[in-house]
Structure 1
Amino acid sequence: MSDALPYAEVIGDPIGHSKSPLIHNFWLQALNIEAEYRKTHVTPDGLAAYFLQRRADPDWLGCNVTIPHKIAVMDFTDDPGGVRTRIGAMNTIASETGGPLIGTNTDAGGFLQPLLRDKWKGRSATIIGAGGAARAILFALTSLGVPNITIMARDVARGQAMLDHAGVKGQVIGMDAALPACDLLVNGTSLGMVGQPVLDLDLTPLPASATVYDIVYTPLETGLLKAARDRGLKTLDGLEMLIGQAALAFDIFFDAQAPRELDADLRALLLSAD
């Protein structure tokens, strides 16, 4: 019988920037749950060994997954919810004691939460990126019935493959192309994050009613959001999706609902940690 606390964690490469432990441990403390949440650096070459080790740990409840593993982890999990087919990326893996690893995706639901809260009703969107987060965002927007979707990607073929996988008839443009006049612009990449290349876009084609949503949260005020605010556009920052997806994962790991009434205190904590 282990004397250690049950725990979940987030894995990625890099991982030092992750705020997920602050979020989950804040909720655990608020609810007086005896468990903990960690962050662990796992390289692409180390994924197989990581899961082999964790499967043998009775205290391990599962993990969240960040860049660059959201597609690769699907090789190590069971998929009862059909996430491989519906989204093509996983960001949450739950450990069933003595059983399989169950993969799912809370990014899509976390991404949608502020749009639903604000009653967003746009008809066109541009997603920057074609990785795991972008796939969840595409799924989320199609679930809203957004009819006109553009993918802006460095690898146009990969962007087209993402649309084809989702069964979406959209368009794919390169990173040097002009933005279309869309209702929602989403950065679904790590561009603009501390230590990553900047995301430098001309936002002139966006209408005054457009919303700009950046999933990067380190820094919180990205160059993209600053440019959008300078134009008077509505913005949504990376903490919106981060907290939203974390709340869904928290329920999976710890079998308790996150105390979202404390969101203001949580945001203050996260901002003070920068």
Structure 2
Amino acid sequence: MTAYAEVIGDPIAHSKSPLIHGFWLEKLGIEADYRAHRVMPDTLGDYFAERRTDPDWRGCNITIPHKVAALDHVEDRGGVRDSIGAINTVLRDGDALIGTNTDAAGFFAPIADMPLSGAPAIVLGAGGAARAVLFALSKADVGPVTLLNRTPLKGAALLAHFGLKGEALPLDAPLPPAALLTNASPLGMKGQDPLDLDLSPLPEDAVVYDLVYAPLETPLLRAARARELDTVDGLEMLIGQAAAAFELFFDAPAPRDHDAELRELLTK
């Protein structure tokens, strides 16, 4: 049998992870496979129970809506539950399944050179991806942070969890001025509700970062470019977090010197 890893979520058909990992496996000549597997919330426990006994399974990446719930089915040796509070990667260690998070590093890499210390930021969303974003921003000493979410109370709890100063507001609240705006919600994704924001309060040197990658050219990024703001698309984080997971699954660094070719493949 062939060793394999996969990405799980519900929905999952939109995922580009099989393309990314398959591209790297081919470049490195590794005999392995990477698949997409739809797992509904009520079968998440069964999924991990089945994979635990499959010797060919190297691990999985996790997307919406399982990043928090998956913590209940794996070991948390790195204390991710108390830090980020969500996982996006599970790997096999002998008979054990270990949860970890590569989202935070993948998110932060494209903006690592920005002068973010003390800079105001806006984050949309309060799910697993938002947790990784807030964790990374807290480590960069960003603040204050305005968190927009359907449930402001949940957003306020997250700000407090990560020790971030700021406030939580409903999604339709006017934006404050900020150096960085990050959409860490599913809004704007194919099959999800649209995201329509008035970006006029943002200064001319603001950066707009959309974690959504299906479609890659989201209405949010289009609106930001119309204002000539700097933008970061969802492929940046997707490729960055995938590279960290790839090495965990297949014991080899992802060949990042082919990123330009990979982005071309992903945008066809």
Q: TM-score range by the shorter chain?
A: over 0.9
Of 221, 226, 249 in structure 2, the residue corresponding to residue 225 of structure 1 is 221
Matches of 2:99 and 2:163, distance apart in 1: 22
Q: Percent identity?
A: 59
Matches of 2:158 and 2:21, distance apart in 1: 31
Matches of 1:270 and 1:233, distance apart in 2: 24
Question: Does the alignment pair 1:121 with 2:136?
Answer: no
Structure 1 residue 163, shift from structure 2 partner? 1.4
Of 127, 130, 135 in structure 2, the residue corresponding to residue 131 of structure 1 is 127
**Letter paired with 1:29:** E
Question: 1:15 aligns to what?
Answer: 12
Q: Please give the residue correspondences for 1:58-207 in structure 2 after superposition, counting only pairs within 5 Å.
A: 58-98=55-95, 100-116=96-112, 119-122=113-116, 123-207=119-203
Structure 1 residue 147, shift from structure 2 partner? 2.5
Q: Give secondary structure in 1 for the equivalent of 2:71.
A: helix
Native 8 Å contact 1:58 1:97 kept in 2? no
State the superposition RMSD in angstroms: 0.8
**Letter paired with 1:121:** P
Structure 1 residue 160, shift from structure 2 partner? 1.2
Matches of 2:85 and 2:204, distance apart in 1: 33
Matches of 1:40 and 1:72, distance apart in 2: 17
Matches of 2:45 and 2:75, distance apart in 1: 15
User: Can you list the C-alpha shifts for 1:26-48, whole angstroms capped at 9, x where unaligned?
Assistant: 00110011111100000000101
User: Can you list the C-alpha shifts for 1:41-83, whole angstroms capped at 9, x where unaligned?
Assistant: 0000010110110001000001000000000000011111111
Gaps of 5+ in 2: none
Structure 1 residue 169, shift from structure 2 partner? 2.5
Q: Give secondary structure in 1 for the equivalent of 2:6.
A: strand
Native 8 Å contact 1:107 1:136 kept in 2? yes
Matches of 1:124 and 1:10, distance apart in 2: 34
Question: 1:254 aligns to what?
Answer: 250
Of 2, 6, 23 in structure 1, the residue corresponding to residue 3 of structure 2 is 6
Matches of 2:163 and 2:263, distance apart in 1: 36
TM-score of the pair, normalised by structure 1: 0.96
Q: Give secondary structure in 1 for the equivalent of 2:61.
A: strand
TM-score of the pair, normalised by structure 2: 0.98
Q: Which runs of 4+ in 1 moved over 6 A?
A: none
Question: 2:31 aligns to what?
Answer: 34
Structure 1 residue 170, shift from structure 2 partner? 2.1
Structure 1 residue 124, shift from structure 2 partner? 1.3
